[in-house]
Structure formats: structure tokens, C-alpha cells
Amino acid sequence: MDFSKFFINRPIFAAVLSIVIFAAGLITIPILPADEYPNVVPPSVVVRTVYPGANPKVIAETVSAPLEEAINGVEGMMYSKSVAGSDGVLQMTVTFRLALMPTMPPCVCKTALPRRKRVCPKTCAARA
């Protein structure tokens, strides 16, 4: 008897066997050694600027926009997120693809920032 004909002629047996295999998979999920696998987190760089006395709107217009223009499009960048606080602090997080070397993202950002540093207000200090 052919292997496939056995299950075609016995559909109830095939369904029960499928349910048993599914249940066995559900039971073994908690005992999988997931802790042994490395955490896969894309590399990111945080650019933090301080503009004393500025509100979030001023920071977004005078500090965030030039920095985003400088950093957008650098090699390997996936996305960026900027948060301007009411205390004059801007925090920009730039996330890169996993395929890059671990030391490359900070270098890419540090070479892109000096081009826009002169556009930012003089009282603004940026650190990457």
C-alpha cells in the first residue's frame, strides 16, 4: 500500500495525527533553549543636543531639522527618531542595518555631524 493512499483512505486518522503533532509542538515551545541564541538588536547611535532655554518647537526647527538632514541617507541607516523636550534637550536615535560592522555606525554619524554643526545655534552643544 502506498504511503499517501493510507492517509487518503483514513482521513480521521490523518486529522488526529495532525492534531497530535500540533499539540506536541505546542508542548515543546516552553522548553526550547531560546536563551542560548543571541539577542538580535540593530545597532543604533544616540545624538543628544542641549539648547538651553529653547522650547520643543524651536529645537525642532533650529537643531533637529539640520541634524536630520545631515544624518538622513548615511550608509546603512534604517530609520531615525527625534524627541525634543521642554528642557531644551533633543535626543535623536539613528538605527542602522544589522549587516554593518559594529564600529561603523558611530563613525558614519560622527563624520556627518560636523557638516551641520555650524548651522546649529552657537549655544547648542551636540554629542554623539
In tens, the pLDDT along 86-115 reads: 888 889 898 888 776 666 656 666 666 655
Label residue 118 by pLDDT band (50, 70, 90).
low
Alpha-carbon distance 67 to 82, whole Å?
A: 10
In contact, 68 and 80? CB cutoff 8 Å: yes
Alpha-carbon distances of 36 from 28, 31, 32, 39, 49, rounded to whole Å: 16, 12, 9, 9, 38
- Number of structural domains in the chain: 2
My answer on whether 31 and 8 are in the same domain is yes
**Per-residue pLDDT tens digits for 3-58:** 889 999 999 999 999 999 999 999 999 898 877 877 788 888 888 888 888 888 88
My answer on whether 11 and 55 are in the same domain is no
My answer on whether 115 and 79 are in the same domain is yes
My answer on whether 18 and 63 are in the same domain is no
- The grid coordinates listed for 105 are 555606525
In contact, 117 and 47? CB cutoff 8 Å: no
My answer on whether 59 and 109 are in the same domain is yes
Domain enclosing residue 17, as ranges: 3-36
In contact, 78 and 116? CB cutoff 8 Å: no
pTM score of the predicted model: 0.58
